Structure 1
Amino acid sequence: MAERARVVVITGASGGVGRATAREFAARGDRVALLARGEKGLAGAAEDVRQAGGTPLEISVDVADADAVDRAAERAEEELGPIDVWVNDAFTGVFAPVSRIAPEEFRRVTEVTYLGCVYGTKAALSRMLPRDRGTIVQVGSALAYRGIPLQSAYCAAKHAIQGFHESLRCELMHDGSGVGTTMVHLPAVNTPQFEWVLSRLPKHAQPVPPIYQPEVAARAIVRAADRPRPREYWVGGSAVQTILGNRLVPGLLDRILARSGYSSQQTDKPHLPDQTANLWHPADRSGGRDFGAHGSFDESGRAFSVQQWASRRTGRLTAAAIAATAAAGTLAWRALHRRHG
């Protein structure tokens, strides 16, 4: 348990990683402001927080609206108290080749995923900086370092968040601020986004295996909020090998993803043309359902990350784990390259 109940704001809290993170904070007795567009998902998240031992506050907001995000922050402070932690997790995406994504769809993904992060950060900073305390956690992805086919809008937005985070971190260090910021880069996670993402693929979209359960991500985010000094956290061996692999052999990754990137992001099931899409409207609006934290890949989802466990141990063990993971990943890439070469 934390020494005192903190006030935590989470964007994208109605489902997936945001929903699991809300439960994780609530289990410590924290007061959690839940920001999202939907209705049923927000109500479900609030009940999760209550059941876990926390105090919820539901706020319906589109993070692409800067004024609305600031009003949400004001309401959170009025009803829960001064904000201690702000987690930017809201995002949206489109699964399609660049040639099949409309300009307005690129704009919308950017406004929600990147600018939503900027607006949330600014709302938090305007309240944290005068108090000289608080923590901002940006939820990133291995795809903030490595773009993959069929997710260009999402990858570009996560790349932008990475650059924004680095700039902000330098500014806070320059000012000697007591406000901390860090970024948590996630692997593929079993969330409902694959049930509601706008997709123009012939088959049902899926995360690139290996797939982790959202609780793995949630634990990492809560840990980052407790210890924001590291500039970023990498979660899962696949995220580590993706980030390091892109630094070492980016050209090889280009060729591998050109061959396998399409098939690895689709199941064997056909895409349903009438599938709910949340790009413009929440998937759980009137007539919809509460999607919860988990997607449809529970059978293959990993509930534990060896890499994450190792990163909590000594520096030597952490280095060994990362090196071993990177080496294994490199061997796998080479084997795949030979198989398709």
Structure 2
Amino acid sequence: MSDRVVVVTGASAGIGRATAIAFGRRGDKVALLARGTKGLAGAAEEVRAAGGTPLVVPVDVADAEAVEAAADRIEAELGPIDVWCNVAFSTVFAKFEDVSAEEYARVTQVSYLGFVHGTMAALKRMKPRDRGVIVQAESALGRRGIPLQSVYCGAKHAIKGFTESLVTELEHDGSGVKVTMVYIPGVNTPQFQWVLNKLPKRPQPVAPIYAPELIGDCMVHAAEHPDRRAWWVGIPTVYTILGNTVWPQFMDWYLARKGIAGQQTDVPASADPEVNLWQPADGPDGADFGAEGVFGRKQWHRDPQIWASRHHGAVAAALGSAAAVAGLALRKRR
């Protein structure tokens, strides 16, 4: 059990909500930041049921002054912030040429500058105390761009760049504040029901699809082990990052042929119920979408890579033992 003060942006649904609930299970005080009123209320109930103490703080992370005011309120009502998780985002599913300048600006303000604003607010309070953890919800697409998601990939690449710069500055200063990134695969969140979609079909995550609860647990684990600068979550994240590092031309070829159809369902785009780019989908007349999206039958609840990533020592020892046994067997045959 814990009584840490944790901030989660984008806490009304999806990964942010699953992360908030996971911290709630630890008994933490969890500040829930998002725009959607229905989602925030539902998230607060679930955090409380999990054993945590929720604080609902409606805010648009694109507004730097509003994020700063939210941080003031959190510290006044809950106490000094120990962990700040940046998760909030929005996006547009479309070819690059079909995204307007205004849409690009709005996504960038939320999905990139929202992380900057949250990090600024957290660091302003953590650095004088010489402690605290900032967790960035990154994406495998922050290391490899894919078709139909240029605006999202651009934001995630930008988050990687500014975070790495910040890490080096904190190390130079000898600061006790830690910053880590969690690289996430495709997840079954409600975003595919409410983001701005200009495709002929409704979008879907790149398979395999992971349960948001699993990713929430990974975010908590990263907050508890912030000395690792980055966490790779899931087998597809590993092969995406490594594949692009080793052979980016092949990734270009493969994604050009598979990446567009693979991100669309058979459901016509006209069935999309909401667009949350300019206003929350779960507004006064909206619904509480929860953490999970509509792909529950396809989602993974576990992945051996996640266990292996957390237990490098055990994996190395097992591989060393296996190599020793194989070597001994080979010598006996000789």
For residues 250 and 169 of structure 1, what CA distance do their matches in structure 2 show? 27
Question: In the alignment, is residue 253 of structure 1 matched against residue 257 of structure 2?
Answer: no
CA contact (8 A) 2:13 2:291 kept: yes
Letter in 1 for 2:298: S
Which letter maps to 1:188? G
Q: What corresponds to 1:35 in structure 2?
A: 33
Quote the offset at 1:216 in angstroms.
1.4
Q: TM-score, normalised by structure 2?
A: 0.94
Cα shift at 1:204: 1.0
Alignment equivalent of 2:213, drawn from 212, 215, 219: 215
**In the alignment, structure 1 residue 184 sits paired with structure 2 residue 182:** yes
Partner deviation per Cα, 1:271-317 (whole Å, 9 max, x = no partner) = 12663110000000011000000000000000112100111223362
Partner Cα separation in structure 1 for residue 61 and residue 294 of structure 2: 26
Q: Which secondary structure does the structure 1 equivalent of 2:299 belong to?
A: coil
Q: Which residue of 1 aligns with 2:126?
A: 128
The verdict on how the C-alpha distance between 1:249 and 1:182 changes in structure 2, with shifts beyond 3 A counting, is same
Does the 8 A contact of 1:29 with 1:55 survive in 2? Answer: yes
In the alignment, the residues of structure 1 paired with residue 302 and residue 318 of structure 2 have an alpha-carbon distance, to the nearest angstrom, of 18
Quick one: distance in 2 between partners of 1:282 and 1:268? Answer: 26
CA distance in 2 between counterparts of 1:318 and 1:82 reads 39
- Percentage identity across paired residues of the two chains: 61
Query: Which residue does the alignment assign to 2:89?
Result: 91
Report the AA paired with residue 9 of structure 1. V
Distance (Å, rounded) in 1 between the aligned partners of 2:223 and 2:317: 22
Counterpart position of 1:23: 21
**1:103 aligned to which of 88, 101, 104:** 101
Pair 127,276 (structure 1): closer, same or farther in 2 beyond 3 Å: same
Counterpart of 1:58 in 2: which secondary structure? strand
Map residues 47-196 of structure 1 onto 2, 5 A cutoff: 47-196=45-194
* Paired position in structure 2 for 1:336: none
Provide the secondary structure at the position in 2 that maps to 1:137.
strand
Shift >6 Å, 4+ stretches: 318-321
3-state secondary structure, aligned to 2:300: coil
| CA deviation map 1:177-233 (0-9, x unaligned) | 000000000000000000001001111100010000001111111011011001100
Q: What does residue 284 of structure 2 align with?
A: 286
SS at match of 2:270: coil
| Partner deviation per Cα, 1:45-103 (whole Å, 9 max, x = no partner) | 00001100000000100000000000000000000000000000000000000110000
Deviates more, 1:268-277 or 1:25-34: 268-277
Give unmatched runs, 5+ long, in structure 2: 320-334
Q: Secondary structure at the match of 1:189?
A: coil
State whether residues 193 and 272 of structure 2, in contact with CA within 8 Å, keep that contact through their aligned partners in structure 1.
Answer: no
Alpha-carbon offset, residue 268 of structure 1: 1.2
Counterpart CA distance in 1 for 2:310 and 2:230 is 14
Which residue matches 1:329? none
Task: Quote the Cα distance in structure 2 between the aligned partners of 1:204 and 1:274.
Answer: 7
Aligned to 1:300: 298
Aligned length: 319
Which letter maps to 2:145?
Answer: G
| Change in 2 beyond 3 A, CA 1:163/1:195 | same
Residues 124-162 of structure 1 show CA distances to partners (whole Å, capped at 9, x for unaligned) of 011001100000000000000000000000000000000
Alpha-carbon contact 1:312-1:318 (below 8 Å) kept: no
Aligned counterparts of 2:303 and 2:318: Cα–Cα separation in 1: 15
Question: For 1:318 and 1:40, how far apart are their aligned partners in 2?
Answer: 47
Q: Are the aligned partners of 1:93 and 1:198 in contact in 2 as well (CA < 8 Å)?
A: yes
- 1:233 corresponding residue in structure 2: 231
Shift of 1:320: 9.0
Whole-angstrom distance in 2 between the partners of 1:276 and 1:91: 15
Query: What is the distance in 1 between the residues matched to 2:318 and 2:64?
Result: 43
Q: Give me the TM-score of the superposition, normalised by structure 1.
A: 0.92
Alignment-mate amino acid for residue 117 of structure 1: F
In structure 2, C-alpha distance between the alignment counterparts of 1:221 and 1:73, rounded to whole Å: 20
Aligned letter for 2:201? K
Q: 1:318 to 1:50 in 2, by over 3 A?
A: farther
Please state whether the residue corresponding to 1:32 is helix, strand or coil: strand
RMSD of aligned residue pairs (Cα, Å): 1.3
Residues 310 and 318 in structure 1, CA contact (< 8 A), matched pair in contact too = no
In 1, Cα distance between the equivalents of 2:316 and 2:25?
Answer: 27
